[in-house]
Amino acid sequence: MSVSELKERHAVATETVNNLRERLRQRRIQLLDTDVAKYSVAQGRSPVKFGATDLVCCRTLLGHTGKVYSLDWTPERNRIVSASQDGRLIVWNALTSQKTHAIKLPCAWVMTCAFSPNGQTVACGGLDSVCSIFSLSSTADKDGTVPVSRMLSGHRGYVSCCQYVPNEDAHLITSSGDQTCVLWDVTTGLKTSVFGGEFQSGHTADVLSVSISGSNPNWFISGSCDTTACLWDTRAASRAVRTFHGHEGDVNTVKFFPDGYRFGTGSDDGTCRLYDLRTGHQLQVYQANGGDGENLPVTSIAFSASGRLLFAGYANNSTCYVWDTLLGEVVLDLGELQDSHKNRISCLGMSADGSALCTGSWDSNLKIWAFGGHRRVI
> pLDDT by residue (tens digit) across 117-130?
999 999 999 999 99
CB 213 within 8 A of CB 259: no
Q: Is residue 16 part of a domain?
A: no
Distance (Å, whole) CA 43 – CA 158: 47
Total domains, the chain: 1
Average pLDDT in the chain: 89
Name, in order, each residue with C-beta under 8 angstroms of 189's C-beta and a sequence gap of 6 or more.
150, 151, 152, 153
Question: What are the φ and ψ backbone dihedral angles of 40, each rounded to 5 degrees?
Answer: -65, -40
Residue 377 has pLDDT above 50, yes or no: no
> Is the torsion defined by CA of 336, 339, 343, 347 positive or negative?
negative
Is 96 a domain residue? yes
Q: What is the mean pLDDT of residues 317-332?
A: 91
204 domain-assigned: yes
Helices and strands (H, E) in the chain, number of each type: 2, 28
Residue 13 domain-assigned? no
CA angle 327, 357, 320 (to 5 degrees): 55
Q: Does residue 108 surpass a pLDDT of 80?
A: yes
Does residue 6 lie in a domain region?
no
pLDDT band at 198 (very low <50, low <70, confident <90, very high): low
Asked whether residue 45 is assigned to any structural domain, the reply reads no
Average pLDDT over residues 254-267: 95
Q: What is the pLDDT of residue 43?
A: 83
Q: Which amino acid, 83?
A: A
Single out the residue of 308, 268, 306, 260 nearest to residue 284, CA to CA: 308
User: What pLDDT, on a 0 to 100 scale, did the predictor assign at position 139?
Assistant: 76
- Give residue 291's pLDDT: 54
Range of the domain at 345: 51-369
For the ranges 15-29, 87-101, 342-356, the lowest mean pLDDT is seen at: 15-29
Report if residue 5 sits inside a domain. no
Q: Residue 319 above 70 pLDDT?
A: yes
Give the model's pLDDT for residue 26: 82
CA gap 179, 203 in Å, rounded: 6
Assess whether pLDDT exceeds 80 at residue 75: yes
Interval 302-331 mean pLDDT: 92
Question: Residue 27: pLDDT above 90?
Answer: no
**At 349, which CATH number?**
2.130.10.10
Rounded to an integer, the average pLDDT of 12-16 is: 88
**How confident is the model over 40-71, as pLDDT tens digits?**
888 888 888 887 678 889 999 999 999 999 99
DSSP structural state of residue 6: H
CA 315 – CA 258 distance, rounded (Å): 25
pLDDT for 378: 46
pLDDT average, residue stretch 194-223: 89
- pLDDT > 70 in the chain, percent: 94
The mean-pLDDT minimum among 97-101, 195-199, 223-227, 345-349 falls in 195-199
Q: In what order do the strands lie in the sheet with 55-61?
A: 55-61, 366-371, 356-361, 345-350
Question: Does 375 have pLDDT greater than 60?
Answer: no
Residue 206 has pLDDT above 50, yes or no: yes
Q: For 272-299, what is the mean pLDDT?
A: 85
Which pLDDT does position 359 carry in this prediction? 96
Segment 282-301 shows an average pLDDT of 83
Q: What angle do CA 238, 243, 247 make, to 5 degrees?
A: 145
Residue 31: inside a domain, yes or no? no
Highest-confidence segment of 3-7, 162-166, 368-372: 162-166
